[in-house]
Chains A and B, each alone.
Chain A
Amino acid sequence: MDPFTRVTGVLAPLDRADIDTDQIIPKQFLKRIERSGYGPFLFYDWRRQGDFILDRPEYRGAQVLVTGANFGCGSSREHAPWSLLDAGFRAVIAPSFADIFKSNSFRCGLLPVELPDEAVRQLIELALQEPGMEITVDLERQRVAAGGFEASFALDPFFRECLLNGWDEVALTLRQDAAIARYEATRPGWLPISR
């Protein structure tokens, strides 16, 4: 995972709540066995309908998305954050994220930023009124700044560290091998095994 410290880039607004992962990346694109190559299919059905806001020239190359509550609800497909990353996004700002989407994002290097409703509303308006406006998301200081707008955000300190350092979580856990083996020794013999 690439470390994430700070990103400055165009802010793109997508003013909808409860965007599910089927909208972010429809199932017909889940058949790849790689982690990359999903960008062109991000929000596929909406794009295909034409005049999709993220396709307007002003928002091309956007790195930060601001959107409605409960973003990423539905399926556990990590293809959702992968497709956002692949399309160039590094952070998503919303009033709330679905649990699994948030957890997936942390683990693949997409920063989910939770801000209060009013702050998100303000950012959406800003991005609509000044298309192409840049925003800075600073993970180290846990601050978001765009034009006159500024806000700080809270974040799980563990995942903050992981993102800042680009840590491989599996490697971290493998260091606890002794503890895992100790735990395994205490598991009762009747627990199911698959063979």
Chain B
Amino acid sequence: MGRTMAAKIWEDHVVAAHEGEPDLLYVDLHLVHEVTSPQAFESLRLSNRRVRRPDLTVATMDHDVPTRGGRAAADEIAERQMSALEENCRREGIALFGMGSSRQGIVHVIGPELGLSQPGLLIVCGDSHTSTHGAFGALAFGIGTSEVEHVLATQCLRQRRPKVMAVTVEGELPLGVTAKDVALGIIGRIGVEGGRGHVIEYRGSTIRALSMEGRMTVCNMTIEGGARAGMIAPDETTFTYLKGREHAPRGAQWEQALSRWGTLPTDADARFDAEVSIDAAQLEPYVTWGTNPGQSVPVTSRVPAPRTETDERALRYMALEPGTAIESIPIDRVFIGSCTNARLEDLRIAASVVRGHSVHPKVRAMVVPGSASVKRQAESEGLDAIFREAGFEWRDAGCSMCLGMNADILGPGERCASTSNRNFEGRQGSGGRTHLVSPPMAAAAAIAGHLIDVRAFS
């Protein structure tokens, strides 16, 4: 019987397999950031161990960097984390793209940008949205700090083999429906726990038709459906994206890589442990109304009646009444950013909505590019001018208000249309209320001052 792509990549990385034990897997690329690594480096040092493969390790600063005012604007503790990362990388000889580097950015934006995230690789990072890199046909998942330490010391990881779920989306996406809506639609369908214990392989014509940016958005949100990794088979779109990037193979090596990548897709006769299929025509622009990413409805509908205690709590926290039209919900803030939706394509589509309009006087809106490189490209296309003229703040790259570890946070009770990935209580600031949406929907909301169907927006 044939094998799934996940199985092929897994089997390619087994260093040792012992009866009754999890497999020992080799890690091709280990991405590191300032928040989940200091304790790992510290333990390493205390046990007199070194980083085994600094050449397979890349670090950046993203989670708590200030997005304006440069490094001087960082608070004392953030500064301590950044200095710790610098010191750790210097000692161990790890490449670091710190603040001010032309390659700095959100870890899941720069890996692909630099051509480091490639098909067939096993990629890990102390961050749950590592699933993003699966868009390239890699097996990529988030790990905790103890595992970060383990990878630093051994370049390996002990893992039980997960099951594989196929999520197939077929058909053309309706107008105004983006990759973000595909992701929210899938999570709405399988639930926030639906993918637990699984790797998800996204398949079908809708997925094939997505750009690499769109595929990254879909894979990024995989963890919100409970699965640690999401992946998409590599194809021409993948190869075209990779070719010529800084760390992509070149010349004869490109040819070798291509022939290997061609063997990765799931065999026609492979079997999945679970299968879900979704008709793209049924998808709509979604808005989350609650406090987990599974609690979403089409923008044209109403806040649903609670079915569980979790729903009731969520409605209380969000200060929403069942039956309220989603489009009537006023907002205070707009955040266009995060590893889900802050790549060039996202900024372009948001800018196309914003062009010629102004941000509603009651709304404070900001755009935080996913990386320094995205920022430069956007500026060279004049996107920054469109946003600024409309009244958006145009910031430096970082995670920013996706998790609010820096100064970019919601105040208590503030309501935000956000292109990020988590609407958990307090995620964007204690007492803040988050509605997850796509970039064009966020842009339209900024202008209208309330949640609004981007399809009806002009």
Contact = CB atoms under 8 A, between A and B. Distances in A.
Interface of A: 16-18, 20, 22-23, 26-28, 30-35, 45, 69-70, 73-79, 81, 96, 98-100, 103-104, 107-108, 156-158, 168-170, 173-174, 176, 179-180, 183-184, 187-195
Given A45-B430, A188-B260, A194-B56, A77 B36 contact: yes
Nearest to A49: B431
A100 to B, nearest CB: 6
Contact of A183 (B15, B116, B248): B15
A188 to B, nearest CB: 7
A82 to B, nearest CB: 8
Contacts of A194: 29, 54-58, 94-95, 116, 247
A18 B405 contact: no
Interface in B105-126: 115-116, 118, 121, 126
Interface in B131-150: 142-147, 149-150
B317 to A, nearest CB: 10
Interface stretch (B74-82, B178-186, B362-370): B74-82
Greatest chain B CB density within 10 A among A33, A35, A70, A73 is at A33
A169 B146 contact: yes
A98 B58 CA distance: 27
B20 A157 contact: yes
A188 B158 CA distance: 22
How many B residues touch the partner, as a band?
Answer: 35 or more
Interface string B412-432: 000000000010111100110
B425 A23 contact: yes
Interface stretch (B192-200, B206-214, B338-346, B378-386): B192-200
Contacts of B160: 156
Contact of A180 (B127, B156, B247, B427): B156
Contact of A76 (B16, B36, B156, B403): B36
A195 B94 CA distance: 9
Nearest to A188: B256
Binding site secondary structure of chain A:
loop
Given A18-B292, A31-B77, A33-B39, A179 B144 contact: no
A18 B121 contact: no
Given A23-B425, A70-B192, A194-B116, A169 B158 contact: yes
B49 interface: yes
A69 B160 CA distance: 21
B15 A104 contact: no
Contacts of B58: 194
Given A27-B404, A74-B422, A173-B154, 19 more contacts: A17-B310, A18-B192, A22-B403, A23-B424, A26-B430, A33-B81, A35-B43, A74-B223, A75-B128, A76-B36, A78-B39, A158-B21, A158-B22, A179-B16, A187-B26, A187-B28, A192-B28, A193-B55, A194-B29
Nearest to B157: A173
B148 to A, nearest CB: 8
B42 interface: yes
A179 B292 contact: no
A187 B257 CA distance: 12
A-B pairs, 6 with minimum CB distance:
A104-B144, A33-B38, A107-B146, A78-B144, A190-B253, A31-B77
Contacts of B149: 170
Nearest to B404: A27
A174 B47 CA distance: 12
Contacts of B84: 33
A132 to B, nearest CB: 25
B320 interface: no
Contact of A170 (B15, B39, B47, B64): B47
Contact of A100 (B26, B55, B95, B144): B144
Given A70-B196, A76-B36, A100-B144, A193 B56 contact: yes
B247 A192 contact: yes
A69 B52 CA distance: 38
Contacts of A31: 35, 64, 77-78, 80-81, 405
A76 B55 contact: no
A170 B197 contact: no
Contacts of A74: 128, 223, 422, 424
Given A33-B42, A33-B80, A77-B144, A174 B154 contact: yes
A187 to B, nearest CB: 8
Greatest chain A CB density within 10 A among B54, B128, B226, B249 is at B128
A26 B146 CA distance: 20
Greatest chain A CB density within 10 A among B15, B55, B155 is at B15
B426 A26 contact: yes
Nearest to A15: B309
